[in-house]
Amino acid sequence: MQLYHIALNNILRRKVKMLFVLLGLLIGIATMVSVYGVVEAMRTEMTRQVAQFGANVIITPDAGELTFSYGGITLPAVLFDVEQLTGEDVAAIENISLREAIRAVAPKLLGLAVAGGGHLGDANAQNVVVVGVNLQQEFMVKPWLRLRSAEEMQSDEQYTPERSNVPAADTVPEEKKEMDFAMLDLAREDLTRLVLSDEQILVGSTLAATLGVMEGDLLTLSGQEFQVFAVLKDSGSAEDEQILLNLSAAQALLGRPEQVTLIELAADFTLGSEEVLLSQLREALPNVEVTSLRQEALRRDEMITRLVRFGTSVSVLILFVGMLVVGLTMSGAVRERTREIGVFRAIGFRKSDVAKIILLEGLIVSVLGGMLGYFVGMAVAYYAGPLLANMSIQVPWRLEIFGLAVLLAILIGLLASIVPARQAAKLDPAEALRFI
């Protein structure tokens, strides 16, 4: 028999009371953990998005209040039925005085084309997003883009039953079937050597699997035949679902000559002030929207900071209420146990022994509350986090947060138990046993 046996047995006996104490701590800790988990995951996701974005300035047509999300960052709408950018806008960028601070200018035209028809038959036709780009510049602003390796291509070849729908190169006219695989291999090694003809396209990995096409295959887009030069490696980005082709080829295919949907810039702000560059761009392109992703990220960061403040305030408040619940419940339990404590004192327990029993009870419930609070908080963050944050986030399980949650719970539990413990220790044993 040790003091903790008494504490543990009492907890087990007073299940409902102890459940209240547990809930008081659990709700506080769970709130803190979930807020922290969501905010941390948001920060991580923001950092990832910003880091992944080779481009840091986006130029789009001035679209008023319409917005769209590009790579998880909200931008003015650029798609259809709004005033379009043109090649002249691209040329205007070349003439600004801080041009050397811009590492890459990647204009692009987005549109929909019908893939299939022709060889695939009308039944297999489907709308696909085609993006006309300047390939070299595009790969600079999107450093995660890679071509699929030869091994991946071979392993895929064995498991692509849809390929039977696609005409083999030997069944199509002679002039179209030649695929320069040596060129593809070179392009895999060095992306700067990647040059497409206007009849060649790059297909995103997911789309390639859906369409059942691979390197060297022919694909009809809105009635025009293209050769798949390469399939892009799976990157988890929007390009997995897109077809990339030369800007001029896309303009011809979509019947939108000279038009550009948006221009992405990779600017190096170490070579010139961000503010100056943005103002020069706005001056050179008066009727367009120039958005700095860094500023957008900062704006988001500010929002997250506000969220942290709010979340922390709410958590602290809930933890404080939890502490009061623990303190009041334990204090009530001490009053109920007056006689029992009197017996302890009479049979030789010191005041400190009695206080230890109450503190041990607080400690045991706190540890349990901290552990459960962590798991409940993480579950809330995991399931409700993406909804709260309004973005796709991954809440990581972190051992140090678990440790902190338990430590915080212990701290609160013990602080709340101090008053009841003192109250128990100070009980007059004679009074408690009502000898008089």
Which residues form the interface with another protein (CB under 8 A)? 1-3, 5-6, 9-10, 12-13, 339-340, 343-353, 429-430, 433, 435-436
User: In whole angstroms, how close is the CB of 43 to another protein at the nearest point?
Assistant: 48
Task: Closer to another protein by CB, 2 or 158: give it.
Answer: 2
Q: How far is the CB of 410 from another protein (least distance, A)?
A: 23
User: Shortest approach of another protein to residue 9 CB, angstroms?
Assistant: 5
423: left (phi over 0), alpha (psi -120 to 50) or beta: alpha
* Contact assessment for residue 348 and residue 429, using Cβ atoms and an 8 Å cutoff: no
**Smallest distance, another protein to C-beta of residue 13, A:** 4
Q: Helix-strand-coil percent breakdown of the chain, rounded to 5?
A: 60, 20, 25
What Cα–Cα distance (Å) separates residue 20 from each residue in 174, 233, 325, 332, 432?
81, 54, 7, 12, 26
Backbone angles phi, psi at 207, to 5 degrees: -65, -40
Distances (CA, A) of 35 to 41, 199, 314: 10, 52, 9
Beta strands in 134-260 (DSSP E): 200-203, 218-221, 224-231, 242-246, 259-260
Residue 376 or 433: the one with the smaller Cβ distance to another protein is 433
> Of 94 and 428, which has the nearer Cβ to another protein?
428
Q: What gap in Å lies between CA 224 and CA 71, rounded to an integer? A: 30
Confirm if 378 and 397 have CB atoms less than 8 A apart.
yes
d(CA 4, CA 30): 26
Give how far the C-alpha of residue 241 lies from the chain's centroid of Cα atoms, to the nearest Å: 19
Tokens (6 digits) for 55: 């481009």
As measured in angstroms, the least distance from the Cβ of 8 to another protein is 10
φ, ψ for residue 142, nearest 5 deg:
-125, 80
Q: Which amino acid is it at 94? A: E
Q: Which is nearer to another protein, 125 or 433 (CB)?
A: 433
Shortest distance, position 420 Cβ to another protein, whole Å: 18
Identify which of residues 108 and 345 has a Cβ nearer to another protein in the complex: 345
Q: H or E segment at 328?
A: helix 293-336
Closest CB to another protein among residues 182, 436: 436
Name which of 171 and 352 has its Cβ closer to another protein.
Answer: 352
Q: Which is nearer to another protein, 32 or 360 (CB)?
A: 360
Provide, rounded to whole angstroms, the least separation between the CB of residue 350 and another protein: 5
Select 135 or 359, whichever has its Cβ closest to another protein: 359
CB of 334 to another protein, least distance (A): 15
Distance CA 263, CA 250 (A): 15
Instruction: Select 276 or 343, whichever has its Cβ closest to another protein.
Output: 343
- Between the CA atoms of 275, 276, 279 and 285, what dihedral angle is there, to the nearest 10 degrees? -120
Shortest gap between Cβ of 377 and another protein (angstroms)? 32
How deeply is 434 buried, as exposed, middle or buried, from its count of CB atoms within 10 A (0-12, 13-18, 19+)?
exposed
Min dist. Cβ of residue 418 to another protein (A): 19
Q: How far apart are CA 141 and CA 145, in angstroms?
A: 9
